[in-house]
Amino acid sequence: MTHDGTGSGTSTIDLLGLLQVADDLAAGRRQDTDSTLQLVVAGLREHLGMDVAFVGVFEGGQRRIRTVAERLDGPPVLPVGTCDPLEESYCARVADGRTPEFVPDARHEPSVADLPGTTQLPVGTHLSVPIRLSDGSVYGTLCGFTREPDPQLQARELGVLRLVARLLATHLEREARPGDELARDRTRVQGALDERPPEIALQPVLALEDLRVVGFEALARFPDGRAPDGWFALAATVGLGVELELVAVRAALRRLPDLPPGAYLAVNASAAAVCSESMGDLVDGLDDSVLARLVVELTEQTGVPDYDVLRERLSALRGRGARVAVDDAGTGYAGLHRILELSPDLIKLDRLLVDGVAGDEVRQSLVSALTWFARRSGAQIVAEGIEREADARVLRRLGVPFGQGHLLGEPVLAR
């Protein structure tokens, strides 16, 4: 651990430690919420090299600073407890989509150039992501900024913020809910487990060279229309996250006969689900012929508390013919660390890196580097979120062999 000024004298942690602490908080392994939030925010500020990082809470038309970490080179600019009109905050404008989550230079961003904070704090480069609860409502935002524009900060850093925000949301929702509401939500999730399980939509994965279908990703769709991330987050808050994941995996496996011969089926699972006894029981009941067509795609719904255990479980799957995919490559150090630790068979380029790659030389350079790494390590690259023909052409030129996205094929439910 290192000591870096945070306004409160709190020691900070490296990125892996930060994600572990946030995951502990989400899983209920830490109860000292305020000090843990401070530790997470301080670690995030240091990792990104920002001057200020904070959690802002939306309350009655106000934005209240709940936790903040600042450099110790002057008076604090955002003391804990500070309240501002919500409409005058970056936070509200990011949450409702008026302001991008990544602002390279606030003085040149029309949606915030007129706000007092832009000139008074001042704000240079700004990153912010909403902290969304399982019902889709916004608790607040996880933010950071530099006082002067910092060209070293890039939009890909949002991947780290989003992961931390998801973990914080799980705990903050549990913290805010009374026991009877938690009981109602648990009953609701249990109903999804027992009575109305999710349907599975299949999105094709194509070879970019000849547009041949090589596989399908299974995507959960819930009867009430709520976003899948919201359902899985709700299940996690009531202690049924792994159970809901396994229900979705079982539903996906039932669609395997619908696939063309030779096409693989990719199912999403968190590290917690892969390491669970229930997943072990499910895999034990599958024929090797099924596992030979299965790709286990590790999600970031939870962190990885023990890589040794995870590697052991994945090795057992691979021993019977299954393959492993890691997503969100190119959006931050956490994704790169998982690639190095797990040596996946497939590396999925995050849509944040893919979208707009045709017009961005930095994105192209990173895609080229990851493609070279994949070839050297024996992995295959899959680009997610391809929506433009120009991006598809550039990805093909850069040597990316596979892709998926709305341009190549929409997710389709069973008929």
Structure tokens at 90: 């970056």
Contacts of 191 (CB under 8 A, 6+ apart): none
Query: How do the pLDDT tens digits run along the chain, 415 residues long?
Result: 233 333 333 445 676 677 677 766 666 666 566 778 888 899 899 889 999 999 999 988 889 999 999 987 666 778 888 888 888 899 999 999 999 999 999 999 999 998 888 888 889 999 999 999 877 889 999 999 999 999 999 988 888 888 888 888 888 877 766 666 667 777 878 877 777 788 999 999 999 999 999 999 999 998 777 788 878 877 877 778 888 999 999 999 999 998 999 999 999 998 888 988 889 899 999 999 999 999 999 886 555 656 788 899 999 999 999 999 988 664 544 566 778 888 999 999 988 889 999 999 988 998 999 999 999 999 999 999 999 999 999 999 999 999 999 999 999 987 6
Nearest residue to 140 (alpha-carbon basis) of 83, 224, 189, 178: 83
For residues 296 and 324, the answer to whether their CB atoms sit within 8 Å is yes
- Following DSSP, what letter does each residue of 302-321 receive, concatenated? S--S-HHHHHHHHHHHHHTT
Q: Residue type at 72?
A: L
Structure tokens at 44: 């995030």
Nearest residue to 246 (alpha-carbon basis) of 223, 276, 266, 216: 276
Helices first, then strands: H and E counts in the chain: 16, 15
d(CA 54, CA 75): 16
81-105 tens-digit pLDDT: 888 888 889 999 999 999 999 999 9
Phi-psi group of 61: left, alpha or beta (phi > 0 → left; psi -120 to 50 → alpha; rest → beta)? left
d(CA 241, CA 230): 11
For residues 366 and 400, the answer to whether their CB atoms sit within 8 Å is no
d(CA 311, CA 377): 17
For residues 130 and 94, the answer to whether their CB atoms sit within 8 Å is yes
Strand partners, 382: 348, 402
